[in-house]
A and B are shown apart, each in its own frame.
Chain A
Amino acid sequence: MGSRSMDDLPEQALIARAIEGDRSAYEQLLAAATRSASRLAFGLLQDRSLAEDAMQEAALRAWRRLPNLRAGSRFQPWFMGIVANQCREIRRGHWWQIVQLSESVAAAGTDESAWLEGEDLRRAIARLPFDQRAAVVLHFHVDLSVADVGAALGISTSGAKKRINRALKRLRPAIAVSEARVNG
């Protein structure tokens, strides 16, 4: 019988430890959610700096509010909701920000042609109402189930479905163009 390391602890045990103040347990929870959180934050804000700020603020809020996490609930959808909300608040304060394409490309340090190919879809995503943007990014980009999207956004599953479908309707022209670019 070997002893179980912290890495082996199931999520609920980590949550329980974190609620008791165990920061290393919380760090594990956070580390497991970082990839999804970063995809969500960048998807919503399309700005690396703001996305990092949003994630950090969300991580701090989640730490403070961890005792509010309902027993048995999973950490990631709950944390995604806080990240989404933090992005909403940051966007409210920065909605006027104008980012030049060339700066975005430079900041991203990413493949220029690939970045340019996604411009139509990126703009279309940015034009969505925030709630629809969050739903579509959570479902199609972060790969949360519709039920988890609902949990993250504090709405019912049916509400999440409606929100996603409405976003798809708005995105449709850009999806067509983007497909032509990316797949063409």
Chain B
Amino acid sequence: MAEERLRRNLDVALDPGPDFPSRAWLSQTMAAIENDVPRATRIRGIAAARDPLDLLWRGRRVAAIVAVIALAVAATAGFLAIHSKVGPAPVHPPLGIAPHDVGLCSPTGSTTCGFAGQPVFVSANVGWLTEDFIDQGSVACNPACPKAVLFRTDDGGSHWSVQVGLPGYSQKILASPDGREVLVVPQGDLGAALFHSTDGGAHWTAFPVPAGLGESAVTQCNFSNPPCTITGPTELIDFINPREGWVLSQEASFTMADLFHTTDSGASWSSTRVDLRSAFKVDPAKGWTDSAGHVDHTLYGKLFFRDSSTGWFAPVTACVDSGAGCGQQFGWDLYMTHDGGRTWLAQSLQPPAGTPPGATVTIDTVRLAANDPNGTLALRVTAPNATQPDPRPYVYTTSDGGDHWLNPTQVPGSSSLSYVQLDLIDATHWVAWSSSGVIHTSDGGQRWDSLPSASFLLNVLWLMFADPSHGWAYGEVAGGFVLDRTTDGGVHWTRAGIPEMGCSSCLTTPAPSPPPGGPVPSQLLGYWDLSPAAVSSILQASGKGTCPTPLTAATCKISLQLTDTEYFWPNNVGLSLAKGGVVVKGNEIDFWWAADCGPDAANSTGRYKWTLAGGVLHLTSLNKDPCPRSVLLANQSFMRGS
């Protein structure tokens, strides 16, 4: 229902008007394709056609460039301020962040608002998962609500209990084998914190992540374009257990970074400076240029650690316009450290046989247990043309602790397997799934079998196995999402419970009670227009600009629309004016509740005396209206409108 309302509202809000695209668009486009001429000589849109001298555009551009320069200076200062905090060996005190009191928002409603992330299970029974706490449709969510909620199960997923509310999305969970110690790691969420528990989740402490994580995505246009800055999340964070982890944060110079290391769950950090040019053969100061001429200085890549000393960094080495954007592309080179990140050695992966020249690679994961020399590395290869379905997923294996990665094995897929995802359970047991189904291998990819019984899921969102036998699948069925469980490697599945964060009760605002009074009398019903002069005065006083000239009702109009119990503000000057409720008692008209004022009548009611003479409605203020609408009502005269 809410979705349909949104569709209807979007139809209104994003209506480009008639004749769009223009009737000539297709023929002109085909003509352009026929000639395949440079873009500058092809047609421009209708606005350009109306303004052949482009004076308006040039004027805007000059003004905009001035504004942009100011913004760029401010943004750069902000970036430097953020990154200047990155010291050589900082030790952060615990944050003053308290885990949200989930009980405040807790919920019994029927609307499922949560969206489950991939869980972690330390045994067949004990596990955790987070669920993003998301509004549905137009239902309002209490801003005090957490963004996500962490759940724990002690019976393999049949029942889940709320543990803590989290201030960020997309959490990765790490837990000790006995389930006592748990760490929730933010990924790509600005300002998020690490949440740590040493009693299985009963009590939590929040620690900040070092500056720079999630903020190093800076894109600058070259000098032929207006400068621009774009920030976004990065995921250069990895933990090997609930205590020990690393964060790679780019410095403001773009060329240097700090590899932060913690062994106490983020309570304190030490850091090692890394020169990206010498360590990883990348120089973000030069950046990568996309087809539009933007220079991206972000340090992109994937960070993986196996134990306290051994880890890998896979830097993005190219940012090439692939037709679907300036895609992040890894090279075939990995960088390995044996000393906790102080020094790095290059490793070159051998492309799978038959990989065409120009193919690009995306590294997904490195999976290597601390005391096991056998491990796996998953990547995808995208061919430069359509000679094969792509991207093709491959798994490399190692038997020497990651010093060498060999035997790339292709994960079977067809053209219909649009996006294959993998869970590498151990060195030989792998599961792959896509919209087409689920397959698995128990011999390192020599033989793959389908898991037909998993087809109960219309759409598999994730699969994860704690060991080759015990696994969980989260996916969509008609009517919602479900969690299923297997104890025999996926041969049979049974429905497990799924934590549901019903949003309704948490989001429902109390039903408002109007002040005493009755419906609006018939002589006041309908539209009442402020004079254009009054509208112009209001606009100027509120800093909203001026009315277009000539000053007429057609160009500068704010109306008061009265129905039996509600008022509205139709206008043509672009103001956002909230609607509200209205009651009348004698010569008093009370306006109450509005988006700006809240539903509480006692604190939202503006009382006015109304008089009607000669077709003019005049309102005189009887109290101090707690709502900003008073500027539109107090001592104003309205003409009968239509």
Do A and B assemble together?
yes
CA distance A182 to B138 in the complex (A): 14
CB neighbours of B572 from chain A (8 A): 112-113, 116
A97 to B22, CA, bound (A): 22
The verdict on A13 contacting chain B, using a C-beta distance below 8 Å, is: no
Closest to A30 in B: B26
Q: Is B197 an interface residue (CB 8 A)?
A: no
| Number of B residues with CB within 8 Å of any CB on chain A | 95
Q: Which residues of B contact A165 (CB under 8 A)?
A: 115, 132, 134
**Chain A residues whose CB sits within 8 angstroms of the CB of B418 once the complex forms:** 73, 151
B102 on the A face (CB < 8 A)? no
Contact of A101 with B574 at beta-carbon distance under 8 Å, contacts A161-B115, A172-B138, A183-B5 already known:
yes
What is the CA–CA distance of A178 and B137 in the complex, to the nearest angstrom?
Answer: 12
List A97-127 residues whose CB lies under 8 Å from chain B: 97-98, 101-102, 107-110, 112-122, 125
Given the interface pairs A49-B44, A96-B67, the reply to whether A140 lies near B7 with Cβ below 8 Å is: yes
Q: Contact size class for A?
A: 35 or more
Smallest CB separation, B357 vs chain A (Å): 16
Q: Does B14 contact A (CB under 8 A)?
A: yes
Q: What separation, in Å, do the CA atoms of A125 and B15 have in the docked complex?
A: 13
With an 8 A cutoff between CB atoms, is B122 at the interface? no
- Beyond A156-B419, A175-B6, A178-B13, is A38–B20 a contact (Cβ under 8 Å)? yes
Please give me the residue from chain B that is nearest to A119 by CB atom: B574
B92 at the interface (CB under 8 A from A): no
Chain A residue at minimum C-beta to C-beta distance from B43:
A56
Stretch at the interface among B28-36, B332-340, B366-374, B396-404: B28-36
Contact indicator B42/A96 (Cβ below 8 Å) = no
Shortest Cβ gap from B60 to chain A (Å)? 6
With a cutoff of 8 Å between Cβ atoms, the chain B residues found around residue A92 in the complex are 219, 221, 225, 228, 230, 292, 294
Q: Which of A138-158 contact B (CB under 8 A)?
A: 140-141, 143, 147, 150-151, 154, 156-158
- Tell me if B12 and A50 are in contact (CB < 8 A): no
B-contact bits for A16-55, CB 8 A (1 contact / 0 none): 0000000100110011001000110011001111111101
CB distance from B93 to the nearest CB of A (A): 31
Taking the nearest CB of chain B, how far is it from the CB of A136, in angstroms?
A: 8
Q: Is A10 an interface residue (CB 8 A)?
A: no
Report the bound CA distance from A102 to B292 in whole Å: 30
List residues 582-601 of chain B with CB under 8 A from any CB of chain A. 595
CB distance from B214 to the nearest CB of A (A): 14
Residues of A contacting B: mostly? helix
Chain A residues, CB < 8 A from B5: 175, 179, 183
Bound Cα distance A61, B325 (Å): 12
B576 at the interface (CB under 8 A from A): yes
**Chain A residues, CB < 8 A from B291:** 89
Known A-B contacts A82-B323, A141-B7, A150-B419; the reply to A48 vs B132 at CB < 8 A is no
Partner of A70, one of B324, B390, B462: B390
Please name all residues of chain B whose beta carbon is closer than 8 Å to the beta carbon of A117 when the two chains form the complex.
12-13
Q: Is the CB of B9 within 8 A of A95?
A: no
Q: Are A71 and B386 in contact (CB under 8 A)?
A: yes
Query: Is the C-beta of A9 less than 8 angstroms from some C-beta in chain B?
Result: no
Give the contacts of A157-184 with B (CB-CB under 8 A). 157-158, 161-162, 165-166, 168-169, 171-173, 175-184
Do the beta carbons of B13 and A122 come within 8 Å of each other?
A: yes
Contact of A34 with B18 in the complex, beta carbons under 8 Å: no
Residues of B within 8 A of A178 (CB): 9, 12-13
Whole-angstrom CA separation of A173 from B135 in the bound complex: 11
Any B CB within 8 A of the CB of A2: no
Supplied contacts A48-B17, A179-B138, 8 more A-B pairs, CB within 8 Å: A42-B14, A49-B48, A56-B29, A82-B324, A109-B19, A147-B459, A161-B461, A175-B137
25 interchain pairs, CB-CB under 8 A: A23-B33, A26-B33, A38-B16, A39-B14, A42-B14, A42-B16, A51-B45, A52-B25, A61-B323, A69-B386, A71-B415, A73-B415, A92-B230, A93-B225, A107-B46, A116-B574, A117-B12, A118-B14, A122-B14, A129-B232, A140-B7, A150-B419, A156-B419, A172-B139, A176-B140
- Sorted from nearest, which 10 A-B pairs have the closest CB atoms? A49-B45, A118-B13, A49-B47, A110-B17, A108-B17, A96-B64, A101-B574, A52-B45, A121-B13, A158-B461
Q: Which residues of A contact B (CB under 8 A)?
A: 23, 26-27, 30-31, 34, 38-39, 42-43, 46-53, 55-57, 59-61, 63-65, 67-73, 81-82, 85, 88-89, 92-93, 95-98, 101-102, 107-110, 112-122, 125, 129, 137, 140-141, 143, 147, 150-151, 154, 156-158, 161-162, 165-166, 168-169, 171-173, 175-184
Which residues from chain B sit less than 8 Å from chain A, CB to CB? Answer: 2-3, 5-22, 25-26, 28-30, 32-34, 36, 39, 42-48, 60, 63-65, 67-68, 115, 132, 134-141, 169, 219, 221, 225-226, 228, 230, 232, 290-292, 294, 323-325, 327, 385-386, 389-390, 415-416, 418-419, 421, 435, 459, 461-462, 548, 555, 566, 568, 570-574, 576, 578-579, 595
